[in-house]
Amino acid sequence: MLTRTYYQYYTNVTYLTCPECLSWHGKIARRPQGLPDRKDGCERRLLAFSPRELDYHREQERRMRAAAEAELVRRDLLAQASDALGSDNDVAFSLFRQVVAVDLHVPEVEALCEKRREPLEADPALRRSLRALFAKAYSDKFGHPRYERLPEEMRLARERAGIARINELLA
């Protein structure tokens, strides 16, 4: 029996995934050749499925497209927040709160502290507020369902290490 197969493009949506690969996340094609094979370091998997599963995968596609688009918006908000730091901290914090509501990664905090060293070093109260916001967000993110697969001990260790690094960067 010949079952016509569909393919769904999957990449790992994270702060390092390039915009091109994000633009394919969740897309469905009839042939693997209909989906790119970029070999650019981003994760790429093609999930093969049968026509009977098409409705389910269309629904997955909607969720995956929303996640990929949210990540692009998150990066843009983070860049805007970084730029506003030191000149309009109310705007910066309102943007940072939108960023961390989606996700926050320690290397992003490292890059921010490097790039905006001047306004941060000049203002201990600013560092304290940012430290509180980021540490809380980082702790909250490990309560997210996507981390529930990690063993409890590993999750706690990663959470503690991340918060320690945030506290150190913004001391």
Residues in touch with Zn ion (CB under 5 A): 18, 21, 40, 42
CB of 83 to Zn ion, least distance (A): 25
Cβ 166 to Zn ion, closest distance in Å?
Answer: 27
Residue 157 CB coordination number (10 Å): 12
| 6 phi/psi in degrees, rounded to 5 | -110, 160
DSSP string covering 44-84: -EEEEE-GGGHHHHHHHHHHHHHHHHHHHHHHHHHHHHHHH
Closer residue to Zn ion in complex, CB, 18/156:
18
Nearer to Zn ion, 6 or 24 (CB): 24
Whether the Cβ atoms of residue 5 and residue 27 lie closer than 8 Å to each other: no
CB of 14 or CB of 94, closer to Zn ion: 14
Provide the minimum distance between the beta carbon of 80 and Zn ion in the complex, in angstroms, as a whole number: 23
Q: How far, in Å, are 124, 157, 160 from residue 153 at the CA level? A: 33, 6, 11
The distance of closest approach from Cβ of residue 164 to Zn ion in the complex, given in angstroms and rounded to an integer, is 31
